[in-house]
Amino acid sequence: MANGQGYGGTGGYGAPPQSPHGQAPYGQNPYAQDRQARNPYAQPVPPQAYPPPQAYPPPQAYPPQHPQPAAAPPPGGFPGPAPRRNRFAVLLQFLLQWIYAPLWVLGLVLLFVVLIFADYSGGGPSSDGWLKVNRSFIPPRRLRAELTGRPEHWERYVTPVLARRIAAAEASYAAGGGEVRPDLGRVVGVRLAERLYRGLGAAGVVRLAERYGWHGVASGSDTGHVLLARHFPAPVILNAPSPQDPPAAPGTPWGPQAVRFAPLLPFVLLLQIVYVPVYGLLTCWVSRPEPDYWDRWGARWTVGPRAFYAEFTNSPAAWDRHIRRILKRDTDRPRPTTTRTPDGTLVHRIHLKRATYRGAGAHHALRIAADQGWTLDPAYTPDPTNSLRLSRPLQP
């Protein structure tokens, strides 16, 4: 046929049908042709050399995860704030303390009265914590810090407390207190209980103390307190006469001091048994700015039995015997106060008070002590009107 649909023609019934989308007949995969032949832009790709596969380390066997305890503070470090107390318990203690604190004090007074009239052998608890009512007392100024637990509130509370403790410790150093070091300097310390800085932590207290020139000290196993210290260098000795110098004039700091009226001394000796304890009980609550207040008060209002005859007669020989007797007593003590110097030498230290040499003078006492090997202690600033501190190598 002319239309190509006849028998035997190319487009007849005996030939496979043509695909409308291309020249490939049905029954054949048109995508099986060579892609390079179908894509005129295809270029032959040269073979590429790939790097060998990287060798990775074998997987590690991780231990099972368990909650780890809190890391201990580094050596020389100080712990942070302690856990807060329960607010209800704090409020309950604050309300009840106004009842049990007076009863506690009254009970202690009655206990002491009973012990005075009873045959007390001296036994009892090893700790005196039950005597200190203030340990369980919450001042109103601390109540807010206990309830809120904020560090700024605790800092506002503990700052004046720390300032008072530091001022008292430095005043104690000025009065001759402190521990003597081998370099002849002295160290004074302050100890604060945890109840005073619970929400601030020992680290916060040390930070506050550094403003005053103090530093923290490791407290070891005593985790309930923070220890602070300050080191003072050895003082420069000035205006100290030599034992070989001429005697000091009366009325000068190193010379003889005025003694009391002799006829009054017997009454002072007898009445001091009564008025000394009464005065102490009536003024025990008073805060004294001078740590050696009682030594100075006693030198004015009391007289010792050993110094009675020397002051009553005001004889140079009597004062000489009294000074030598006190020197011998302090030298022969079974447990003397000693300090080891950097070269390993043990130094023996004694403290002569004003009542020992009042009528003879500090210079005369220094001359007597020099005959026995004593010299002025270089760790203390001389204060001849109140006391005389001496030292010498400890004799075996």
pLDDT digits (tens, 9 = 90+) for 286-300: 878 788 888 889 989
Query: What's the average model confidence in pLDDT over 72-92?
Result: 78
| % of the chain residues with pLDDT over 90 | 48
Q: Are residues 105 and 206 in the same domain?
A: yes
137 located within any domain = yes
pLDDT at 121: 53
204 located within any domain = yes
171 located within any domain = yes
pLDDT at 71: 40
Considering the chain, what is the average pLDDT of its residues? 80
Number of domains in the chain: 2
Q: Are residues 101 and 191 in the same domain?
A: yes
Tokens 């009564």 identify what position?
274
343 located within any domain = yes
| 190 contacts 228 by C-beta, under 8 angstroms | yes
376 located within any domain = yes
What global pTM score does this model have? 0.68
pLDDT at 344: 76
Query: What's the average model confidence in pLDDT over 208-227?
Result: 90
Task: Flag whether pLDDT at 204 surpasses 50.
Answer: yes
144 located within any domain = yes
Q: Are residues 227 and 315 in the same domain?
A: no
Structure confidence at residue 239 as a pLDDT band (50, 70, 90): confident
Q: Are residues 102 and 206 in the same domain?
A: yes
pLDDT at 255: 95
For residue 228, the surrounding DSSP H or E stretch is strand 225-232
Query: What's the average model confidence in pLDDT over 187-215?
Result: 94
Lowest mean pLDDT among 118-127, 196-205, 239-248: 118-127
Q: Compute the distance between CA of residue 382 and CA of residue 17 in angstroms, rounded to an integer.
A: 132
Greater confidence (18 vs 268) lies with 268
Lowest mean pLDDT among 239-243, 254-258, 308-312: 239-243
Chosen domain end from 217, 232, 247: 232
255 located within any domain = no
Q: Are residues 330 and 228 in the same domain?
A: no
Q: 371 Cβ partners below 8 Å, 6+ apart?
A: none
Q: Are residues 200 and 337 in the same domain?
A: no
Query: What's the average model confidence in pLDDT over 186-201?
Result: 93
pLDDT at 237: 74
Lowest mean pLDDT among 33-47, 87-101, 206-220: 33-47
Chosen domain end from 173, 207, 232: 232
pLDDT at 106: 84
Range of the domain at 175: 87-112+129-232
Number of residues assigned to the chain: 396
Give the CA angle between residues 120, 126, 129 to the nearest 5°: 105
Lowest mean pLDDT among 117-131, 270-284, 334-348: 117-131
pLDDT at 4: 43
As a dihedral over the C-alpha atoms of residue 176, residue 179, residue 182, residue 183, rounded to 10 degrees, the angle is -50
Query: What's the average model confidence in pLDDT over 357-366?
Result: 96
Q: Is 240 exposed, middle or buried (0-12, 13-18, 19+ CB in 10 A)?
A: middle
**DSSP percent split of the chain into helix, strand, coil, nearest 5:** 40, 10, 50
Residue-wise pLDDT for 128-184, tens only, equals 555 666 677 888 889 999 999 999 999 999 999 999 999 999 999 988 899 999 888
| 78 contacts 194 by C-beta, under 8 angstroms | no
Chosen domain end from 209, 232, 255: 232
Residue-wise pLDDT for 3-41, tens only, equals 444 444 444 444 444 544 444 444 444 444 444 444 444
Structure confidence at residue 396 as a pLDDT band (50, 70, 90): low
